[in-house]
Chain A
Amino acid sequence: MAGSSIMETLFQRTLEDLIKGMRLQLIGESAFISKAMEEIRREIKSTDLHTKSIALQKLTYLNSLHAADMSWAAFHAVECMSSSRFAEKRVGYVAASQSFNESTPVLLLITNQLRKDLTSVNEYEASLALECLAKIGTVDLARDLTPEIFTLLSSSKVFVRKKSIGVTMRLFEKYPDAVRVCFKRLVENLESSDPQSLSATVGVFCELAAKDPPSYLPLAPEFYRILVDSKNNWVLIKVLKIFAKLAPLEPRLAKKVVEPICEHMRRTGAKSLMFECVRTVVGSLSEYESAVKLAVAKIREFLLEDDPNLKYLGLHALSIVPPKHLWAVLENKEVVIKSLSDEDANIKLESLGLVMAMVSESSIVEISRVLVNYALKSDPEFCNEILGSLLSTCSRNFYEIVVDFDWYVSLLGEMSRTPHCQKGEEIESQLIDVGMRVRDARPELVRVARSLLIDPALLGNPFLHRVLSAAAWVSGEYVEFSLNPFELAEALIQPRASLLPNSIRAVYLQSVLKILVFSVNSYLSQTETLADLEPGVQASQMENSEASDLASVRAPIESEHDEAFNPGVLDRPSADISVEDIGTVADGDGQTSKFVSFRKNGFTRESIVNLLNLVEVAMRPLSGSLEVEILERACNILGLIEVLKREMPAQFQSEMVLEKEELEVLELIKLMDDAFSEELGPVSTSAQDRVPIPDGLVLKDNLADLDEIMGDVKLPSSNSFSLESPYYAERMDPASSNVQSKEDSEASNESTSLLAEHRKRHGLYYLPSEGNGTISNDYPPANDLKSGETTNQDDPEDFVRLTAQSLVSKKKPNYAKPRPVVVKLDEGELVLAVPKKQDSRDDLLSGAVRDILLGDDAVKLSSSIKGKEKVNMDPLDSKENMHDMEHSRHRKSSSRRSKQRPHRKERGQTSPEKLGMEKEEHGGKVKSKSSHRHGRQKSRQKAEGSSDVIVQTPVIPDFLL
């Protein structure tokens, strides 16, 4: 054994050998490391501590730089720590602080070793133990070693004292009760003459105050003194950080510190201190106009520097300037805009944030134009940053800053065409959202959707598929605003659409169905109206069927309002026509707009037949699709086409003839159109919660036995849709299907009346709907739309709005249009801001700190600065409320009293007339005070939970001023 040991000692490779070997190795790094690890495992078992420590040192090296595992060597580290030689001890300590964590089992073994070293006369040993404790201190270690740290806090060796100050941070964090023991000495170090101790103490308070500012308000006078007196920039920066946390809590304090901070700002040459001053002022002292002005001037200096660091920090400081000082950002507009093209991505991001902060209703158009142009030129990553922040800014608070939605919708279209755009998902949801919320934007929305759909190149870009999905949905849902539905349908069934993922393909197909139904319905009702030549009948029919040619269900105005309606809403599409130059637009005749005339004349027999054929051809291959969504929808469409073709051959032969049997087809199509034209509103996420669950309704019951009861009852809804199923249609010969469809329409009529009846009886359980809700066959919108102009046309306000719109639009076509109504859900969509809960340890810690500060320590402090207090007492009396005054008096009197009479019993009796709360608090104070007295001897038992009483009202001490 001895022989091998000495051999190892003599021929052991040192750390330097290992490092050299590593650089010269030819066998590959990992192989070399595993070989070295083998060696270390052998050596570390040596009984010779020197050999062991070298092995451990090598292991620490490999762990630190090459991530070798060293958790297995924990015990060897402990052995080295207990060595009497400093070199070995140091290796042990370094290894421990490198590798130990909360779950290391041998931690239990080191308590005594640490205690021994902490009390060592060798300051270097004490320093090793302190460094280690600062890193690995656990709850147990912190508790057991608190007395030693307490002793070291007033050590005469500065070197040890400042390290023990640093350790208190870890101590408090792990074991809040340590506050009761060490806090006073820590505070005493704030007055230390040694700059290093002071710096360390301030550092600790800076970290503590960041976690729970209010607890440290009582120490404000000490910090203030440092702020004014200190010349050390390290210390000043930390103190400023503390004041940045404290000032917002106490206006008087803010008033007090603002001048010294400005003084530092003017005087200092150190950029770091200057920046800290600036940040403190704009972040926490923004009420002080002159200070902010000075800070902004300094920011400007930063921005004009060539140093990218200062530029970045300048922009960063601007971004924390609160919104009420927006002028500061506007003043530096050019620099900010210029920074958008900086070579540094971080600077670009900061300036982008600032540009977005400058956005307002009036500037959004301009800024968006600039930014989209930037996005075109910049790299993909930043391009998407730009698009992302544009999207989120514009959509903020229900498109608050967007006035012109036509513009916004076309901006969305433009964004999705930006080459690197990866924001498909966001654009998708906004396209749909705008469609649902903003009625007036729909025509433009459809136009944008059309231009997106029609472009075959876009189908090849996977990032845009989501946008296309939205465009397809929009074009189907709002097809009545389309200038040319046929073109839309063609775009939706174009061959390249096969590039789309299945889920989006399904959306395409659904939109094809909607367009188909709409077109056929328009055609049929148009021929119908042509057949009945008398205008009176026409009007009545319009009312009966609801779905009519031009104004269809969704167009906001009925025929009586035509004059007001035409210029306001319909002018726009016609203007677009001239711009867009769409080939198929029919000629406008006279006063009726082109839009309307197109509707009247556009659906010819041939065009409908063409459409049907075209769609049929496109759907055939899809009816064999493996994807159920596509398969089903394609089959639905095919079924519908089949029925249409079979049902109205006469229709297709001569337009003018309208025979009895065709009315049924008409009925069917009308029903479907009704179903599709029902408005879809935005639904609040909490909508479901707002529906009360009726009494006696068991929601979680198994519904399996429902089949028995319902066996012979046909569900009306499934009936009305069954026609679309090709299987169903194919199985029947024309005659029987004819009968079927007749039945169907009857059934659904029946169901309408049933539904109406049900609604009447159980009106309570229906969401409130507009007056005519009962008449129409469909469910009311998911939520109560405030701007449901469709239904309450006699609302005078709407009329006024529309006329106003038509009036001003003549004057100034560009901007005079009032902001369209954006449908909002009253409260449901607000994101609930959950107040952040402090974790319990923090509570414990701050509780203990307040205990100390507001209990016994406050006495000491107030007495130590009584001079200051006295001067300020008089003006305070007039201003402050009774509560505070009482407190300051107590404190003063009690501190005086405590000097005169150490045993005061009558303290409680002096205030019997006070309010209960006051008394309680008072009692708390007395208690903690007396406990403090005991604490002189037995510091550990000081704190029998008086914290709950005192913490209730954070006392704002008057000696701040």
Chain B
Amino acid sequence: MIHFVLLISRQGKVRLTKWYSAYPQKERTKVIREISGEVLSRGPKLCNFVEWRGLKVVYRRYASLYFCMCINQDDNELEVLEIIHHYVETLDRYFGSVCELDLIFNFHKAYYILDELLLAGELQESSKKTVARLIAGQDALVETAKEEANSISNIIAQASK
């Protein structure tokens, strides 16, 4: 299973974290520091796997962003690389040629998409189309709610409460 997902920029800035195994807050900070140290220091033409605390970190670099997933020793590394790629493609489809800034400003969206892909550290949805459809559905729900909330009448109703 996947223990956690990290997105780290080349400068070492964290762009997204998602924890599927229990790591207390302090531990999380430490893990992020260790992993970014390990991964960022690796050259371009090396393999995408790093052994870490008896687990394995599979990472892949897209432009300036490193996508890292931590898995068990006997999990399939290539499969996880596929999952990473799958995630990136889904993001790409959603944002339309995704870049780091998209993920910075739409942090929560990237998060929701990941939630559709993975659940409890396992791949849930391998179809990009389905994920896109699901996210669009949720977005529609949010939009209608937002429109409601922002309507003048609603503001007036609130003000006169």
Report the separation of the CA atoms of residues A63 and B20 in the bound assembly, to the nearest whole angstrom. 16
| Known interface pairs A85-B145, A207-B1; A343-B122 also in contact (CB < 8 Å) | no
Which of the 9-residue segments A129-137, A398-406, A704-712, A799-807 touches chain B? A129-137
The answer to whether B124 has its CB under 8 Å from any CB of chain A is: yes
CB pair A86 B142 closer than 8 Å: yes
Q: Which of A322-357 contact B (CB under 8 A)?
A: 343-347
- Give chain B residues whose Cβ lies under 8 Å from the Cβ of A16: 105
B68 → A minimal CB distance (Å)? 15
- Give chain A residues whose Cβ lies under 8 Å from the Cβ of B126: 195-196, 199, 232, 234
CB pair A19 B124 closer than 8 Å: no
The answer to whether A159 has its CB under 8 Å from any CB of chain B is: yes
B72 → A minimal CB distance (Å)? 8
The answer to whether A50 has its CB under 8 Å from any CB of chain B is: yes
CB pair A2 B47 closer than 8 Å: no
Q: Which of B111-137 contact A (CB under 8 A)?
A: 111-112, 115, 119-120, 122-127, 130, 134, 137
CB pair B159 A203 closer than 8 Å: no
CB pair B81 A309 closer than 8 Å: yes
The answer to whether B29 has its CB under 8 Å from any CB of chain A is: yes
- Give chain B residues whose Cβ lies under 8 Å from the Cβ of A20: 105
B81 → A minimal CB distance (Å)? 7
A331 → B minimal CB distance (Å)? 22
Report the separation of the CA atoms of residues A50 and B17 in the bound assembly, to the nearest whole angstrom. 25
Report the separation of the CA atoms of residues A313 and B73 in the bound assembly, to the nearest whole angstrom. 12
Report the separation of the CA atoms of residues A90 and B143 in the bound assembly, to the nearest whole angstrom. 13
- Give chain B residues whose Cβ lies under 8 Å from the Cβ of A232: 126
CB pair B149 A50 closer than 8 Å: yes
**Chain A residue at minimum C-beta to C-beta distance from B46:** A344
| Known interface pairs A90-B138, A272-B82, A343-B46; A203-B122 also in contact (CB < 8 Å) | yes
Contact of B29 among A61, A67, A101, A311 (CB under 8 A): A67
Contact of B51 among A9, A272, A346 (CB under 8 A): A346
Report the separation of the CA atoms of residues A280 and B101 in the bound assembly, to the nearest whole angstrom. 42
Contact of B159 among A2, A90, A98, A166 (CB under 8 A): A2
CB pair B14 A275 closer than 8 Å: no
| Known interface pairs A86-B141, A94-B111, A170-B120; A272-B79 also in contact (CB < 8 Å) | yes
| Known interface pairs A65-B14, A65-B17, A272-B78; A163-B105 also in contact (CB < 8 Å) | no
Contact of B77 among A101, A313, A347 (CB under 8 A): A313
The answer to whether A64 has its CB under 8 Å from any CB of chain B is: yes
CB pair A167 B81 closer than 8 Å: no
* Best-surrounded residue of B28, B76, B130 (most CB of chain A within 10 A): B76
- Give chain B residues whose Cβ lies under 8 Å from the Cβ of A64: 16-17, 107, 111
| Known interface pairs A2-B161, A65-B14; A86-B124 also in contact (CB < 8 Å) | no
Contact of A309 among B48, B119, B137, B160 (CB under 8 A): B48
Report the separation of the CA atoms of residues A420 and B111 in the bound assembly, to the nearest whole angstrom. 46
The answer to whether A312 has its CB under 8 Å from any CB of chain B is: yes
* Best-surrounded residue of B46, B77, B104, B161 (most CB of chain A within 10 A): B46
The answer to whether A169 has its CB under 8 Å from any CB of chain B is: yes
In the complex, per-residue mask of B58-85: 1 if CB is within 8 Å of any chain A CB, else 0: 0000000000000000101111011000
| Known interface pairs A237-B79, A272-B78, A313-B77; A347-B145 also in contact (CB < 8 Å) | no
The answer to whether B155 has its CB under 8 Å from any CB of chain A is: yes
Report the separation of the CA atoms of residues A131 and B81 in the bound assembly, to the nearest whole angstrom. 23
Binding site for A on B (CB under 8 A): 1, 14-17, 19-20, 22, 24-25, 28-29, 43, 45-51, 74, 76-79, 81-82, 104-105, 107-108, 111-112, 115, 119-120, 122-127, 130, 134, 137-138, 141-142, 145-146, 149, 155, 158-161
Binding site for B on A (CB under 8 A): 2, 5-6, 9-10, 15-16, 19-20, 23, 48, 50, 57, 60-61, 63-65, 67, 69, 71, 85-88, 90, 94, 98, 101-102, 124, 130-131, 134-135, 159, 162-163, 166-167, 169-170, 195-196, 199-200, 203-204, 207, 210, 232, 234, 237, 241, 271-272, 275-276, 279, 308-309, 311-313, 343-347
26 contacts between A and B (CB under 8 A): A6-B155, A6-B158, A15-B107, A16-B105, A20-B105, A61-B107, A64-B107, A67-B29, A124-B134, A124-B138, A130-B119, A134-B120, A159-B134, A162-B124, A162-B125, A166-B119, A166-B122, A200-B124, A204-B122, A272-B81, A308-B46, A308-B48, A343-B43, A343-B45, A344-B47, A346-B51
